[in-house]
Amino acid sequence: MKRRRNEQEETQTMEIVWQTPSNPPKRQDYIFRDGIRYVKPYYFEFISHAKNRWAGKTIVDLFADEFKGRPRDYYVSAVKAGRIQVDGQIVPISYVVRPSEKISHFVHRHEPPVMARDVKILRLEPDVLTISKPASVPVHPCGQYRKNTVIGILQAEHDVAPLFPIHRLDRLVSGLLILARSASQADIFRQQIESGEIKKQYIARVKGVFPDNEQVANVNVNYNAREGKSTVEDLIKKIISSKGKSACTKFTRISTNGTQSIVLCEPVTGRTHQIRVHLQFLGHPIANDMLYLSECVNQRSIEGLSADRAAAKLVPPIIHNQCEIYVPQSTDEPIEDFRIDPMCTNCPNLAPKGYDGDEDGLWLHCVRYSGPDWTYECPYPDWASLS
């Protein structure tokens, strides 16, 4: 009891600077350790409005039921300390939530780590920026990521803002990323995408000897957001799902060493995990894609892991050849201290629970986008060489 009282007293006397989305990332916000990019934990206000299903619950029950990443005792302490508020007011732990009320949760935010690879600028034009996106880094703020994103890193390290991504690459996918530097240019790109004027090319390293003639996967894709995984509709059993969306990808073999192959992938449509699941459907999944190599039931809820991280924990690691490993430039710097928050459930660790930062990207890389009067390209990654 004495320790908890001391922690509460320390929390009340701490001088805390709360950050909001308007606070731009800065170079000094990052810590590099053993080839991994961390973000210094920082104070942040999460805001939500009470959903109808939340109405009638006490403020503590609401958080304990809906946000299971922290123990109930934490939410009790957070409400008492004023770190959870309703409409900007401190409330008792017995407070009953009503629909549409503004609920604020002030947290000591720990972002997941990413690999410490450069976000390399390929072309910087007045209206367009193209970069080589490293694997493991999400494009824009989402979920637990805010500063550890392509947008955040470009702003912090290159002072480039604002930026408008005109397409997206999954977090584990690398390669060409096109960003407009104005809303009007972004609209031009989006109109070209919607009208089907843009062609996309990726390369993948897959299992087995891929056929030497063009293969076309014209199979509906159904993405299960809860499981974080896509499936194709069963054409043999002629099972047609109302949830499945039409999807088409063309594949051409570039090279093979008799065990694995490098394949050019040209998606005609743009469904979630389309290339990954279509390659699995053809019997040649991406050779390090644990999510689509495994037949195990996904357990993404364990420790709040993403589908890919959960799959990686269920499947034995692949033995890599030397040519298959990225060798990032040495970016390690002296470890900087950060403030330990007495109420934080993640301190003193840099990363939140469940994230060890030990992951490589998929062998899937965007190499080329072309439109009516423009083409942007990105160099091949090291793993594209099978020699």
Q: Is 289 a catalytic residue?
A: no
Q: Which of the residues 127, 170, 341, 373 is marked catalytic?
A: 170
Distances in Å between the alpha carbon of 202 and those of 7, 130, 175, 337? 52, 16, 8, 41
Side-chain half-sphere of 39: how many Cα atoms within 13 Å? Answer: 23
CA dist., res. 371 & res. 385, Å (int)? 28
Distances in Å between the alpha carbon of 314 and those of 177, 207, 226, 229, 355? 31, 19, 18, 15, 15
CA dist., res. 315 & res. 295, Å (int)? 10
**What positions carry a catalytic annotation?**
170
